[in-house]
Amino acid sequence: MRVLGIDPGLRNMGWGVIDVDGPRISHVANGICKSEKGELAGRLLVLFDQLCQVVTDYQPTTAAVEQTFVNRDGAGTLKLGQARGIAMLVPARAGLSVGEYAPNAVKKAVVGAGHADKKQVDHMVRLQLPGVQIAGADAADALAIAICHAHHATSAGHLAAALKKAMA
């Protein structure tokens, strides 16, 4: 299974790709899609095009996106939601299933604590993907999202296999 993790953002949209083979995970690539200041539609198009290129280049088989949190700035939350729409649309358009995870669920899966800070997440991603060169904090978060999805998908696969065996 090849997992694309996406950390939505309007200025910086982190992405990370990992391969999962049973309990083993390995780093494939990571980076940041960037948009410059300007008209919102143009910025969203730039993010869309860059993320489409990531999907074309790395051919993931599934994807995961971090859920948006609501903050005090309604306009900022709405813009983040629009970037998140791009993050969900691109893999869906490629025929991939898209998992969604709350930030606390990602941190708990990767660090073991739902309220871990960015440095802890980065550290644990580096431990789980030895030798990885991370493009930045947004890419580290995207790799954490991919790792979280891998853990959930693997657990779901074990459960399905156990249920199938029990029914036989």
Q: C-alpha dihedral over 41, 69, 87, 65, to 10 degrees?
A: 180
Cα 134 from Cα 96, distance rounded (Å): 24
State the catalytic residue, choosing from 19, 21, 39, 66. 66
Q: Which of 36, 39, 49, 138 is catalytic?
A: 138
- Catalytic (active site) residue 122: no
Give 22's DSSP letter: T
Residue 85: C-alpha distances to residues 48, 78, 137, 154 (Å):
10, 10, 21, 26
Q: Which residues are annotated as a binding site for Mg(2+)?
A: 7, 66, 138
Q: Give the residue ranges of the annotated binding site.
A: 7, 66, 138
Does residue 73 carry a catalytic annotation?
no
Q: Is 100 a catalytic residue?
A: no
| Alpha-carbon distances of 55 from 17, 70, 91, rounded to whole Å | 10, 28, 7
Among 7, 19, 117, 122, the one annotated catalytic: 7
Q: Which residues are catalytic?
A: 7, 66, 138
